[in-house]
Amino acid sequence: MNLDLIWRYAPSLISGFGVTILCWGVGGALGLLLGFAITLLNRLRFLPLNWLLRGFIEVFRGTPFLMQLFLLYAGGPSIGLRLGATTAGILGLCLYSSAYFAEIFRAGFASVPVGQIEAATSVGMAPFDTLIRVTLPGALIAAVPPIVNMLIILSKEMVVLSIITVPELMYQVQTMAAETFTAFDAIFAMAVFYWLLVETVSRLGARLEARVTAYLAHEESAA
Amino acid sequence: MKPEVILHSFGYLTRAAGVTVAVSFAGIVFGFLIGAAVCAARLSRRRWLKRLGGTYVSVFRGVPLLVQLLFIYYFLAEYGLDVPAIVAAVGALALSSAAYQAEILRGALNAVPRGQGEAATALGFSGLDIWRRILMPQALKISVPPLINEFILLLKASSLVSVVGIAELTRVSMNIASQTYRPFEAYVGGGLFYLAINLALAALGGLAERRLARASGR
């Protein structure tokens, strides 16, 4: 691998990495919010709405992310939705990940023991207080490990955005490869870079998990 | 909106769906073979083999599939191996899926109670017989539902092989989009096919899970 080449292309590679991080952060955050909203709406137990949301989740979990991106970016204009590549990419990430996040939050809520909610009611907590102080903290803590996992999966989906020409890292690497005829080296460097990135994020995620679930270990040792 | 675009290209899409299923199935089968070897390496007592298996899983789960696919594609070209793109496509799917399947198999083997292997040893079973008659049948049974799940994930991931020009569902949807100038309908049509295949697979997975639950008397 020619280091000189990387040096020459450093500005575009750095900007590509910036776009990758931006899309990941914004897309993931919006996906978390939308997923959480879907879970809360589902808890209203209004049947037609539940069916609609179930359909949304099944569609976005049952089709490839790339197809969803094509539909948004190329198919959008024919239903009056004209988006730039990056906007389409971020919106696609948000919709795609929200379906998975909604399922994660649902499982989180299901994991809170009914006894805790009953106990809160019996000591006279208002329903809203029970939700905010009992159900929600328990659900969120149970959801942390799968959320971290999903964010890591999402970081790898970021390279798919290059196919709809979002100028993220993979796109810049392929541009560099095409301009300098170094496809093999460039992709190899990209693989190494991504491996290090995912390994680092996984380690940080494991640490975060250990932190928020520390009280569980404490409870177990006390029991 | 012109839904008839989907109807007109129904034949194309059906054939493309067949290619998608075939490519993913080949990926799963080869991935299972490689995954079994990786799992065996991870469970080996030799430390270098253990580490090799661990590194394999970490690399192939850490690098995005698209990067793996293009790497194999350019690797073959770099070393002058003139093979069709389908080899790179199935190879990338198999190598990537192998990392996940190795973990599924490892988890399943760990889920077989330790006492069973010990009981078999106490009864005088040989090491090979314990593997063949006690551990393997149970581990394979446990791993059927997650393997079907992995097949669904791989089927969706196989849309990426459109990038190297394999005429599967995503590629054919792109072609229909550019031929008819109706991208919205084309991608909705392709998406519906994916959805149908995945729902069928999920139903199959549910069936397998219930069967296994009944067979093991739980």
Residues of B with CB under 8 A from a CB of A: 1, 58-59, 61-68, 70-71, 74-75, 77-78, 156-160, 162-163, 169-170, 173-174, 177, 182-188, 190-191, 194-195, 198-199
Query: Which of these, A67, A69, A201, A191, lies nearest to B64 by C-alpha position?
Result: A191
CA dist., res. A158 & res. B54, Å (int)? 25
The SS3 assignment for A131 reads: helix
Q: Tell me what pLDDT residue B193 has.
A: 94
- Cα dihedral across residues B211, B214, B216, B218: positive or negative: positive
Residue A223: exposure state from Cβ atoms within 10 A (0-12, 13-18, ≥19) = exposed
Tokens of A127: 């329903």
Domains of chain B in start order, with CATH, are 4-215 (1.10.3720.10)
Q: Tell me what pLDDT residue B212 has.
A: 78
- The string over B78-116, giving b where at least 16 C-beta atoms fall within 10 Å of a residue's C-beta and e elsewhere, is eeeeeeeebebbbbbbbbbbbbbbbbbbbebbeebeeee
Q: CA torsion angle for B61, A203, A168, B163 (degrees, to 10)? A: 0
Residues in chain B with CB shorter than 8 Å from the CB of A63 are 156, 191, 194-195, 198
Q: How would you write the pLDDT of chain B (218 residues) with one tens digit per residue?
A: 777 777 888 888 999 999 999 999 999 999 999 999 999 999 888 999 999 999 999 999 989 999 999 888 888 877 877 778 899 999 999 999 999 999 999 989 888 888 888 899 999 988 888 888 888 888 888 888 889 989 999 999 999 999 988 989 999 999 998 888 888 988 999 999 999 999 999 898 888 888 877 776 55
Residues in chain B with CB shorter than 8 Å from the CB of A71 are 183-184, 187-188, 191
pLDDT in tens, B101-119: 999 999 898 888 888 888 9
φ and ψ of A139, to 5 deg: -65, -45
Q: Give the minimum alpha-carbon distance from A53 to chain B in angstroms, rounded to a whole number.
A: 16
ipTM tops the 0.90 cut: no
- DSSP for residue A9: T
Are the Cβ atoms of B182 and A70 closer than 8 angstroms? no
Residue A62: exposure state from Cβ atoms within 10 A (0-12, 13-18, ≥19) = buried
The more confidently predicted of residues A198 and B78 is: A198
CA dist., res. B202 & res. B144, Å (int)? 12
∠ CA A198-A202-A203, nearest 5°, is: 120
Q: What percent of chain A has pLDDT over 90?
A: 40
Query: Which of these, A123, A144, A142, A120, lies nearest to A131 by C-alpha position?
Result: A120
Residue B9's alpha-carbon distances to B20, B55, B199, in angstroms, are 16, 45, 22
Left, alpha or beta for B124 (phi > 0: left; psi -120 to 50: alpha)? left
Query: Which of these, B158, B152, B72, B145, lies nearest to B108 by C-alpha position?
Result: B145
Tokens of A153: 């999966």
Residue B138's alpha-carbon distances to B107, B114, B187, B190, B212, in angstroms, are 12, 12, 42, 38, 10
Residue A218 pLDDT grade (very low, low, confident, very high; cuts 50, 70, 90): low
Are the Cβ atoms of B191 and A66 closer than 8 angstroms? no
Q: Give the minimum alpha-carbon distance from A81 to chain B in angstroms, rounded to a whole number.
A: 11
pLDDT in tens, A9-47: 888 888 999 999 999 999 999 999 999 999 999 988 888
Decide if pLDDT at A217 tops 70: no
- DSSP for residue A161: G
Answer whether A44's CB lies under 8 Å from A52's CB: no
A187 interfaces chain B, CB cutoff of 8 Å: yes
To probe the interface with B, which of A1, A20, A24, A66 has the most B CB atoms within 10 Å? A66
> How many residues are recorded in chain A?
223
Q: What homologous superfamily is domain A21-222 in, according to CATH?
A: MetI-like (1.10.3720.10)
Query: Which of these, A37, A4, A27, lies nearest to A166 by C-alpha position?
Result: A27
Give helix B47-62 / helix A183-212 axis angle, nearest 10°. 100
| Contact residues, A window 26-85, toward B, CB-based 8 Å cutoff | 58-59, 62-68, 70-71, 74-79
CA dist., res. A47 & res. A24, Å (int)? 33
φ and ψ of A221, to 5 deg: -70, -30
Tokens of B214: 């009944």
To probe the interface with A, which of B59, B67, B166, B178 has the most A CB atoms within 10 Å? B67
Task: Spell out the domain ranges in chain A.
Answer: 21-222
Residue B141: exposure state from Cβ atoms within 10 A (0-12, 13-18, ≥19) = middle
Decide if pLDDT at A223 tops 50: no
Give the HSE-up count for residue B188: Cα atoms under 13 Å, Cβ half-sphere: 15
